[in-house]
Amino acid sequence: MTHAIVTCSEYFTELALNELHRHHKHLTCIRQISPQHLFIKHSASFGQFTKPSKNKLPIYLHHAFPVHKNMPLDGSLDDLTRLREQAHDLCQGDFDVQARIVGDYPHTMLSVAQSIRRDHVLVANDLPQGRVLSLLIDGQCAYMGISWATQNLSPYNGGKMPSDEPVPNRAGLKMIESLAAFGIRLRPGSHALDLGAAPGAWTEVLRRRGLRVTAVAPQEMYPWLQADPDVSSYYMLAEDYLGQCDTVYDLIVNDMRLDARDSARLMVAYAQHLRADGIAIMTLKLRMHHRLSLMDHALRILRKAYKIIRVRQLVSNRREVTLYLRRRDF
Ligand SMILES: C[S@@+](CC[C@H](N)C(=O)[O-])C[C@H]1O[C@@H](n2cnc3c(N)ncnc32)[C@H](O)[C@@H]1O
């Protein structure tokens, strides 16, 4: 019997649960600790529980770690002593600590983690090498488990990939995370088409990697991108740029705030401007009800021109998923 904490986006909890049930018929959700954290019970080992997700990365699940102990908390200083005792009871040797707190709790994440192991607290950018003591505190209760970093669904705390690359807005994090999550290496000198580019974080990330960018959006780009000779800006809708586009790009990226199906149709129309075997990264906005059927419909449209390599609800996505596509041969 395995107990585990599973992490997902607060906007996709239900779909994350569906995804879990699809692979694990005998899984019970004991408690929803927060919109992002589920406490679950499963009849197999933790390794068997995470195996399907290791073979084929899930869409909605961000992280999972095993729970071997849970203990009530009262917020006193005594909590820290008891957490330390319980942790060292669970694991004697060398281990790192990944701690998260949801809801109100008087102690900080760092003070909790440091009370357990002063010198082995993982900050956001550290990749754990060996054993990890994972800890989730929901104010009244601590959920604690020990595992190898490689056994957990993600080696990172909460599944959030580390990056200290500066971005001019939050959208930039999506591009950085998608390049890492999909294992995409961009070639300097390649030419990218950025649809819905404004204000310009994606263009900025691509420029930093040495790509030339054609940016299409009805709004203005950041001033420094307007002044960049390797950024060509077209202040118009993607629908309108299509009629005058006479370039074949190496990469198309699309973060347009548009109905998912309309965005997919535009991508199919733009496929003629993507080189054979060229790749595309796009977000599908899933704000409405019936998100599954909306996504299925958009994917069906996209398959006319693209192979869908990966669909992932990234940690930095909000009410959307990110797709990694490759152009089909016509
Ligand atoms: C989420 S923002 C994109 C942020 C951008 N990726 C960045 O990194 O700064 C969505 C953008 O899509 C643009 N947009 C919406 N509909 C569009 C369309 N039909 N054609 C082109 N751009 C569109 C909006 O004007 C807005 O700039």
For ligand 1, mutation pick of 256, 259, 261, 285 (most atoms within 8 Å of CB): 256
Ligand 1 atom with the smallest distance to the CA of 256 is 12
Cα 195 to ligand 1 centre (Å): 7
What is the predicted pLDDT for the residue at 287? 83
Beta strands in 9-68 (DSSP E): 27-34, 37-42, 61-66
Ligand 1 atom with the smallest distance to the CA of 216 is 21
- Does residue 201's CB lie within 6 angstroms of at least one atom of ligand 1? yes
Cα 178 to ligand 1 centre (Å): 18
Yes or no: say if 248 and 274 are a contact pair by the CB < 8 Å rule: yes
Beta bridge partners of 143: 70, 136
For ligand 1, mutation pick of 234, 257, 287 (most atoms within 8 Å of CB): 257
Ligand 1 atom with the smallest distance to the CA of 175 is 8
B/e letters for 129-149, b = 16+ CB within 10 Å, e = fewer, are: eebbbbbbbbeeebbbbbbeb
- Does residue 321's CB lie within 6 angstroms of at least one atom of ligand 1? no
Could you tell me the two tokens for 103? 């809801």
Average pLDDT of the chain is 93
The ipTM estimated for the assembled molecules is: 0.99
CA neighbor of 19 nearest in space, from 38, 44, 43, 34:
38
Yes or no: say if 279 and 324 are a contact pair by the CB < 8 Å rule: yes
DSSP tally for the chain: helices H, then strands E: 10, 15
Prior bond of 218 cis (ω within 30°): no
Domain boundaries of the chain, sorted by first residue? 2-159, 171-327
pLDDT digits (tens, 9 = 90+) for 261-309: 999 999 999 999 999 999 999 999 998 778 999 999 999 999 999 999 9
Look up the CATH architecture of domain 2-159: 2-Layer Sandwich (3.30)
Q: How far is CA 286 from the centre of its chain?
A: 15
In the sheet that holds 37-42, the strands lie side by side as: 27-34, 37-42, 2-8, 61-66
pLDDT digits (tens, 9 = 90+) for 91-130: 888 888 899 999 999 999 889 988 998 766 655 566 777 8
- Does residue 142's CB lie within 6 angstroms of at least one atom of ligand 1? no
| Nearest residue by C-alpha to atom 27 in ligand 1 | 198
DSSP letter string over 168-184? Answer: SSTHHHHHHHHHHHTTP
Q: How far is CA 145 from the centre of its chain?
A: 23
Average pLDDT over residues 164-175: 95
pLDDT digits (tens, 9 = 90+) for 142-160: 999 999 988 999 888 888 8
Tell the CATH topology of 171-327.
Answer: Rossmann fold (3.40.50)
Could you tell me the two tokens for 63? 């992280």
Beta bridge partners of 194: 215, 253
Q: Looking at per-residue confidence, does 185 or 54 come out higher?
A: 185
